Copies of this chain bind each other. A is one copy, B any other.
Amino acid sequence: MGSIVVDVMLKPEILDPQGQAVGGALPRLGFSGFTDVRQGKRFVLTVDGDVTDEHLAAAREAAEKLLSNPVIEDVVSVRVLEQDSEQDEDAEQ
Protein backbone atom coordinates (compact mmCIF):
# COMPACT_ATOMS: atom_id res chain seq x y z
CA MET A 1 0.00 0.00 0.00
CA GLY A 2 1.58 3.24 -1.16
CA SER A 3 0.82 6.85 -0.43
CA ILE A 4 1.31 10.14 -2.20
CA VAL A 5 1.78 13.40 -0.30
CA VAL A 6 0.48 16.65 -1.79
CA ASP A 7 1.56 19.90 -0.10
CA VAL A 8 -0.44 23.06 -0.76
CA MET A 9 0.52 26.50 0.56
CA LEU A 10 -0.98 29.95 0.15
CA LYS A 11 0.93 31.98 -2.45
CA PRO A 12 3.57 34.19 -0.79
CA GLU A 13 1.66 37.38 -1.65
CA ILE A 14 -1.57 36.13 0.00
CA LEU A 15 -2.17 37.13 3.61
CA ASP A 16 -2.13 34.15 5.99
CA PRO A 17 -3.97 35.04 9.21
CA GLN A 18 -3.68 31.51 10.62
CA GLY A 19 0.08 31.56 10.16
CA GLN A 20 0.27 35.06 11.65
CA ALA A 21 -1.68 33.92 14.72
CA VAL A 22 0.75 31.04 15.22
CA GLY A 23 3.71 33.37 14.61
CA GLY A 24 2.36 35.75 17.26
CA ALA A 25 1.80 32.97 19.78
CA LEU A 26 5.28 31.43 19.49
CA PRO A 27 7.21 34.17 21.36
CA ARG A 28 4.49 34.36 24.02
CA LEU A 29 5.08 30.66 24.69
CA GLY A 30 8.82 31.16 24.86
CA PHE A 31 9.76 30.07 21.36
CA SER A 32 11.93 32.79 19.92
CA GLY A 33 13.96 32.94 16.73
CA PHE A 34 11.15 32.39 14.25
CA THR A 35 10.58 35.33 11.94
CA ASP A 36 7.57 34.09 9.98
CA VAL A 37 5.03 31.28 10.01
CA ARG A 38 2.87 30.15 7.11
CA GLN A 39 0.17 27.49 7.41
CA GLY A 40 -0.83 25.26 4.55
CA LYS A 41 -2.44 21.94 3.81
CA ARG A 42 -1.03 18.45 3.49
CA PHE A 43 -2.96 15.67 1.77
CA VAL A 44 -2.08 12.00 1.92
CA LEU A 45 -3.61 9.99 -0.95
CA THR A 46 -3.48 6.23 -0.49
CA VAL A 47 -3.39 3.77 -3.39
CA ASP A 48 -3.63 -0.01 -3.58
CA GLY A 49 -0.20 -1.51 -4.15
CA ASP A 50 2.83 0.52 -5.09
CA VAL A 51 2.61 4.07 -6.38
CA THR A 52 2.97 4.14 -10.16
CA ASP A 53 3.77 7.02 -12.51
CA GLU A 54 0.07 7.02 -13.46
CA HIS A 55 -0.91 7.53 -9.83
CA LEU A 56 1.57 10.38 -9.52
CA ALA A 57 0.30 12.01 -12.72
CA ALA A 58 -3.31 11.71 -11.49
CA ALA A 59 -2.31 13.14 -8.11
CA ARG A 60 -0.56 16.10 -9.80
CA GLU A 61 -3.67 16.84 -11.85
CA ALA A 62 -5.98 16.42 -8.84
CA ALA A 63 -3.70 18.71 -6.83
CA GLU A 64 -4.21 21.50 -9.36
CA LYS A 65 -7.92 20.88 -9.96
CA LEU A 66 -9.32 19.81 -6.61
CA LEU A 67 -6.81 20.07 -3.76
CA SER A 68 -5.74 23.66 -4.37
CA ASN A 69 -7.26 26.93 -5.47
CA PRO A 70 -4.79 28.11 -8.11
CA VAL A 71 -5.84 31.75 -7.64
CA ILE A 72 -4.47 31.90 -4.10
CA GLU A 73 -2.55 28.65 -3.55
CA ASP A 74 0.53 26.88 -4.89
CA VAL A 75 1.00 23.13 -5.04
CA VAL A 76 4.50 23.04 -3.59
CA SER A 77 5.12 19.32 -3.87
CA VAL A 78 3.60 16.03 -5.03
CA ARG A 79 5.72 13.08 -4.01
CA VAL A 80 5.66 9.46 -2.92
CA LEU A 81 5.44 9.13 0.87
CA GLU A 82 8.43 7.23 2.21
CA GLN A 83 6.99 5.52 5.27
CA ASP A 84 10.34 4.73 6.83
CA SER A 85 11.64 8.27 6.74
CA GLU A 86 8.53 9.60 8.48
CA GLN A 87 8.78 6.97 11.16
CA ASP A 88 12.40 7.94 11.68
CA GLU A 89 11.38 11.55 12.10
CA ASP A 90 8.82 10.51 14.66
CA ALA A 91 11.35 8.43 16.52
CA GLU A 92 13.73 11.38 16.74
CA GLN A 93 11.33 13.48 18.70
Contact = CB atoms under 8 A, between A and B. Distances in A.
A44 to B, nearest CB: 5
Please classify how large the interface on chain A is, using the bins under 10, 10 to 19, 20 to 34, 35 or more: 35 or more
A26 B4 CA distance: 14
Nearest to A39: B43
B40 A42 contact: yes
Given A34-B58, A38-B43, A77-B89, 16 more contacts: A29-B65, A31-B61, A33-B47, A33-B48, A33-B54, A34-B47, A34-B59, A35-B48, A40-B41, A41-B41, A64-B93, A74-B90, A76-B89, A76-B90, A77-B86, A79-B89
Interface of A: 1, 7-9, 19, 22, 25-26, 29, 31-48, 54-55, 58-62, 64-67, 74-79, 85-86, 89-90, 93
